[in-house]
Chain A
Amino acid sequence: MADRREDRDAVLLAPIERTGPGFYWTVGALGLLILWGAIAYWTQLEGGLGVTGLHQPVSWGFYVTNFVFFIGISHAGTLISAILRLSKAEWRRPVTRMAEVITVMVLFIGAAQILVDLGRPDRIINIIRHGRYQSPLLWDATSISAYLTASLVYLYLPMIPDIAILRDRLEKRKLLYAVLALGWTGSPRQQHVLNRAIAVMAVLVIPIAVSVHSVVSFVFSMTLQPMWHSTIFGPYFVVGAIFSGIAALIVAMLVFRKAYGLEGYLRPVHFRYLGQLLLVMSLLWFYFTFAEYLTGYYGSEPEEMKVFRAKFSGRFWPFFWGMALSNFVIPVLCLVRLSRHTVGKVLTASLSVLVGMWLERFIIVVPTLSSPRLPFGEGLYWPTWVEWGETAGSFALFALFYLLFTKLFPIVSIWEIHEGRERGLQEVEARLLSYLPDLAETGLARPGQRG
């Protein structure tokens, strides 16, 4: 009985059971990029940050941009999955795990960007030994580590029943699965405890996730610098983070749908729903951007205007207008009508948003620094191969982590799909009925209900 149930979802276990040549080719390609990144970082450790394009006054560049970008991507997972779970959206079932894995993997990569950016990574322990809580960097460290912990727990809890399936079915890695399954048997009591724990974590991670990108924005907005010192930055960054996060989630879903043949699980409807969410976020992002830039422009303080002009029509115009094009124009055009060519349009919009949100982070970090208040002349920042290598390596490392995860654990939650088939259908029907007053009155009203 149980065997047949799992055979129906054999395609979800296939990547764990068998490994084809495609896997090795992908790992090899990613490995090359990671090697480039490792050589770049080694060069930087030996020579100092002088091997990068950073200078006075542009003392932050690609690394800080990447930091903000990757931490932003992390909002895909845990946050979206928690909202979908809490709102009992039934279509979440094949999506949540993919989303949660993004969060955990990308947080490691994002936090590592700060380490790469440090002039003295050997002294990182000073953050604990001499930590100054007035500094927004400490808020970041606190918030991100809380988020990482919560996300790990939130990823792991719904995996326990699936790990138990792996423990019972697979011949390899017995010890790993046995330990991680925590003696799961699927008894009603265990299921009750698990569902409670997942629900508690889903509520808990939402405020933590919101705090994470707020304090990332505070790194900039707490300074006095033009176009950084802005109260809108907290929510603006959170919106941008969710925006880029959804885009990353869609891309990941499409990649693994293709690679592992998950078309039966990830259907066009999933992409249509996520595409609509992406469209809403795009409009919201535009609203925030418009409010932010209009406020700066209308007040037209000279220092603000210097940075504003640099972005709008000055040296940074390709980045600024590229951002506007790929965060707003392209996604809106792609996503307004999703009835036909859903998957292609959603993919185009998502890739465009990923580029656009990276540009947005860049356009926040660099132009402010390159327009100092005093007459120093403008700073020209041009990254060297070291920064490109580190960036490529970071993306590749993220992809590799994700890929390895899918070889160890099912990327679509098997037990939640079962639950959807066995209980979700009835639950939805019961819930629907409870929404409708006339049906409840005409015959489905249970005895003992208040009249």
Chain B
Amino acid sequence: MPRWGMVIDLDRCTGCQACVMACKAENNVPAVGRREAARGRVISWMQVLTEEDEGHPGEVRRFLPRPCLMCDDPPCTKVCPVYATYLNPEGIVTQIYARCIGCRFCMAACPYNAKYFNWRAYQREGPDRNPDVSVRPKGVVEKCTFCHHRLQKARERARAERRDLGPGEYVPACAEACPARAIVFGDLADPGSEVARLARSPRAFRLLEALGTKPKVIYLTEGEGRG
């Protein structure tokens, strides 16, 4: 059974936001409009967080692309009263939009603020939407799914061609779009995969590791000139 994971090399990230835009286009993430954005209701499954560098204040910004971290021990799934979010056997934390009652307990419980709420009906079905991804109604929580629909498609294609799913056949939109190749995606259970190799790097760390959520999105620290 694969365990899908991601390594994000912060040394390579330029903060260009290509991953953010690719994610929005791929997953029908709604543009909420100027007024809603001013109220703090932007939905961005992949979000590039920026922080002032403590060593070089006013000069250097640090970037942290943050998708859903796909915790192996997710604080969000435990608190969902209706199993609308759960950890699937391949390690992806999924959302069932049609079941969510909109209590937002998972949002309150996620220490990474990776969950977003549809405060209004932000979009409708239309020809310009990606047909592989369902459009979310108002009142439900949504978040990054590691482009789960791409996995389903790749797996169906492999099955039709009577072969196993090969490495690199399933890649989320953010990893595909990153011009600096900062995002590497693959199967953490396969020790030979690039993602598993990078995850073993001495530069590897996990976000808020002390919380014990065991994320499957792993970061590589900025190395050069940072000591």
Kindly list chain B residues whose C-beta atoms are within 8 Å of the C-beta of A372: 113
A300 at the binding interface (Cβ < 8 Å): no
Q: Told that A47-B120, A57-B107 touch, could you supply 8 new A-B pairs with CB distance under 8 A?
A: A48-B120, A56-B113, A56-B117, A126-B84, A127-B82, A134-B79, A223-B79, A223-B109
A388 in contact (CB, < 8 A) = no
What distance in Å separates the Cβ of A65 from its nearest Cβ neighbour in chain B?
Answer: 13
Closest to B38 in A: A55
Complex-state Cα separation, A127 to B80, whole angstroms = 10
- Give residues 37-56 of B contacting A (CB, 8 Å): 39-42, 49-51
CB within 8 Å of B: which of A374-396?
374-376, 379-380
Indicate if the CB atoms of A49 and B40 lie closer than 8 Å: no
Known contacts A375-B51, A380-B40; A120 and B102 CB within 8 A of each other: yes
CB distance from A386 to the nearest CB of B (A): 12
- Chain A hits for B41, CB < 8 A: 50, 55-56
Give per-residue flags for A315-335: 1 if the beta carbon is below 8 A from chain B beta carbons, else 0.
000000000000000000000
**Interface: A225 (CB within 8 A):** yes
Residues of B within 8 A of A225 (CB): 108-109, 111
Contacts of B216 in A (CB 8 A): none
B152 to chain A, nearest CB (A): 22
- B140 near A120 with CB under 8 A, answer yes
- Check A374–B66 contact: CB distance below 8 A: yes
Interface size class for chain B?
35 or more
Among A127, A222, A223, A374, the residue within 8 A (CB) of B81 is: A127
Beta-carbon contact of A126 and B40 below 8 Å:
no
Does B179 interact with chain A (Cβ within 8 Å)? no
* Complex CA distance for A47 and B118, rounded to whole angstroms: 11
Q: Beyond A60-B108, A132-B80, A376-B49, is A223–B101 a contact (Cβ under 8 Å)?
A: no
A137 part of interface (Cβ distance < 8 Å): yes
The interface-forming segment of A9-17, A111-119, A425-433 is A111-119
Q: Is B116 an interface residue (CB 8 A)?
A: yes
What is the CA–CA distance of A374 and B110 in the complex, to the nearest angstrom? 11
Q: Contact flags (1/0) for A42-80 with B, using CB distance below 8 Å? A: 000001111001111111100000000000000000000
Asked if B79 and A119 sit within 8 Å, CB to CB, the answer is no
A48 touches B138 (CB 8 A): yes
Question: Majority SS of interface residues in chain A?
Answer: loop
Contact surface of A with B, Cβ cutoff 8 Å = 47-50, 53-60, 114, 117-121, 123-124, 126-127, 129-132, 134-138, 141, 219, 222-225, 369, 372-376, 379-380
25 pairs, CB–CB < 8 Å, chain A vs chain B = A48-B121, A49-B117, A50-B138, A55-B41, A57-B107, A58-B40, A59-B104, A59-B117, A60-B108, A117-B104, A119-B103, A119-B138, A120-B100, A130-B82, A130-B84, A130-B99, A131-B81, A131-B82, A135-B78, A137-B81, A137-B105, A224-B75, A225-B108, A225-B109, A373-B208
Chain B residue at minimum C-beta to C-beta distance from A137? B81
Picked from A48, A60, A222, the residue with its CB within 8 Å of the CB of B104 is: A60
Which one of A53, A132, A222, A369 contacts B82 once the chains associate, using CB atoms below 8 Å?
A132
The answer to whether A120 and B108 touch across the interface, beta carbons within 8 angstroms, is: no
Whether A55 contacts B82 by the Cβ 8 Å rule is no
* Assembly CA distance A59 to B106 (angstroms): 10
Most B-side CB within 10 Å, residue of A58, A135, A136, A138: A135
Whether, in the assembled complex, B207 has its beta carbon less than 8 Å from a beta carbon of chain A, the answer is yes
Give the contacting residue for B101; candidates A60, A120, A222, A374; CB below 8 A: A120
Q: How far is the CB of B34 from chain A (nearest CB, A)?
A: 14
Contacts of B102 in A (CB 8 A): 49, 118-120, 123
Q: How far is the CA of A123 from the CA of B104 in the complex (A)?
A: 14
**When the two chains form their complex, are residues B118 and A48 in contact, meaning their CB atoms are under 8 A apart?**
yes
B125 / chain A contacts, CB cutoff of 8 Å: none
> Are the CB atoms of B40 and A56 closer together than 8 Å?
yes
1/0 contact string of B50-90 vs chain A (CB within 8 Å): 11000000000000101000000001001111111000000
**Which B residues are CB-close (under 8 A) to A121?**
101
Query: Cβ of A135 and Cβ of B104 under 8 Å apart?
Result: no
Cα separation A219 to B80 with both chains bound (whole Å): 11
| Contact between A373 and B111, CB atoms less than 8 A apart | yes
Q: Which residue of B lies closest to A52 (CB)?
A: B119
Enumerate chain B residues within 8 angstroms of A376, measured Cβ to Cβ: 49, 113
Contact call B139/A135, Cβ cutoff below 8 A = no
